[in-house]
Amino acid sequence: MSPTRHAVAQARYLVVKVGSSSLTTAAGGLDRTRLDTLVDAFAGRVATGTQLILVSSGAIAAGLAPLGLRCRPRDLATQQAAASVGQLALGHAYTESWARYGRTVGQVLLTSDDMVRRAHYRNAQRTFARLRGLGAVPVVNENDTVVTDEIRFGDNDRLAALVAHLVGADALVLLSDVDGLYDSDPRLGEARLVAEVTGPADLRGVQVGTGGTLGTGGMVSKLDAATLASRAGVPVLLAASTQVQRALGQADVGTAFAATGARLSARRFWLRHAAGAAGRLRLDDGAVSAVVHRRRSLLAAGIIGIEGDFEAGDVVELVDSRGDVVARGMVGFDAAELPELIGRSSRDLPPELRREVVHADDLVPV
């Protein structure tokens, strides 16, 4: 067994993501038998002492049949209507299924705004921590009833990766309708299963497709999520939902993604991956070197251009002279204040403006 699979098998705090296709029929509506089978496996893992957070898609798909819809709608209003009906059905089904094991379920609905806004991010952390302390099983989903861009993105894989880091999980399991990552589409002919991913070299030549009919994330979304989590120090297992017992047992199926990066603090992870950028600061070569390699604060003297209408406290991207993003950070000035400051040494500025544009504590290279 590889170290990555051992880490997943022994994880004491685990995030598991389930896709729409694993919970619903092709015609829409929940498949209670499949849902109960998954919960049986989840409860078995919890019985070993593992604390589990479930990130579950399926709200829109679960709302199709009750509303008489034959396929996933394309217009936003109907998607939101389906989500509002399906979310109740999904939550009720999980509540009943987990009750067979004497477990209480807590529903947590999130949007990207909850990951972008620092106060919301901290509130989500506290909610998960309290649910954990009370012994409840959190069931997480995007709040599809009110989100816009998130519905068009259409999958919870990235959300699961963000939640895994937010709560400090030991590992992440992504359950799919495909039994792992292949170097090409296994439906179109011969394809090789990529059993272990320990770095970028293992992904060379890998071609992945898009999503299916009930969920729209597909393998591209799963690969992006697995890469995001593993680079942030969280080992990942991608496996088929039909193999859930082995995935949550000895973890000897699917594709294992080794943790390739160090764990970031919640704040630095939020800056790098979760926060939306309100603008850009273009840096000269000296400032790029100071920020990226020496982890120094960004001063006005190193800025050669600004983009966007941001305010002090917003997150901005720091880019080099070619426009490539080299870091992200929380800016200390409004965009309107910076044009008169950029390129000037601190000693040439009034005392009240002699401060960092982005402090080193609020900055993370990417």
User: Does 13 share its domain with 136?
Assistant: yes
Specify the pLDDT at position 149. Answer: 52
Does residue 145 sit in the same domain as residue 288?
no
Domain co-membership, 225 together with 313: no
Picking from 268, 295, 313, the residue at the C-terminal end of a domain is 268
Its pTM stands at 0.82
Looking at the structure, do residues 212 and 336 belong to the same domain, yes or no?
no
Judge if 228 and 308 occupy the same domain. Answer: no
The reply to whether 178 and 227 lie within a common domain is: yes
Residue 224 vs residues 20, 161, 187, 273: alpha-carbon distances, Å: 18, 9, 21, 12
Instruction: Extract the tokens encoding 99.
Output: 């009750």
Q: Is the Cβ–Cβ distance between 364 and 264 less than 8 Å?
A: yes
By C-alpha distance, which of 337, 334, 353 is closest to 345? 353
CATH number at residue 51: 3.40.1160.10
Residue 243 sits in the same domain as residue 319:
no
Give whole-number Cα distances, 49 to 13, 42, 98, 139, 184, in Å.
9, 11, 16, 18, 37
CATH number of the CATH domain containing 290: 2.30.130.10
Domain span holding position 315: 277-365
Position 12, amino acid:
R
Same domain, 306 and 285: yes
Tell me how far apart the terminal alpha carbons of the chain are, to the nearest angstrom: 32
Report pLDDT for 301: 95
Enumerate the H helices of the chain as residue ranges: 3-10, 32-46, 59-62, 76-99, 112-116, 118-133, 149-153, 157-166, 218-231, 244-247, 266-269, 285-292
- Angle between helix axes 76-99 and 32-46 (nearest 10 degrees) is 50
Quick check: 304 and 323 in contact, CB under 8 A?
A: no
Examine the fold and report which residue of 247, 268, 289 is the final residue of a domain before the chain moves on: 268
Answer yes or no: do 197 and 174 share one domain.
yes
- pLDDT, position 355: 92
Same-domain status, 30 and 169: yes
Q: Examine the fold and report which residue of 238, 268, 298 is the final residue of a domain before the chain moves on.
A: 268
| 149: exposed, middle or buried (Cβ count in 10 Å: 0-12, 13-18, 19+) | exposed
Q: Are residues 260 and 296 in the same domain?
A: no
The pLDDT score that the predictor gives to residue 146 is 67
**Exposure of 102 by Cβ count < 10 A (0-12 exposed, 13-18 middle, 19+ buried)?**
exposed
- Residue 184 phi, psi (nearest 5): -155, 175
358 and 330 Cβ atoms separated by less than 8 Å: yes
- Tens digit of each residue's pLDDT, the chain (366 residues): 899 999 999 999 999 999 888 998 766 678 999 999 999 999 999 999 999 999 998 888 888 888 988 888 888 889 889 989 999 999 999 999 999 999 999 999 987 667 767 778 889 999 999 999 999 999 998 876 666 554 343 468 988 998 998 899 999 999 988 899 998 888 777 889 999 999 989 998 888 764 444 344 578 889 989 998 998 899 999 999 999 999 999 999 999 999 998 787 777 877 887 677 899 999 999 999 999 999 999 999 999 999 999 999 889 999 999 999 999 999 999 999 999 999 999 888 988 898 999 999 889 998
Q: Count the neighbouring beta carbons within 10 Å of the beta carbon of residue 340.
A: 11
Residues 174 and 285 both lie in one domain: no
Structural domain total, the chain: 2
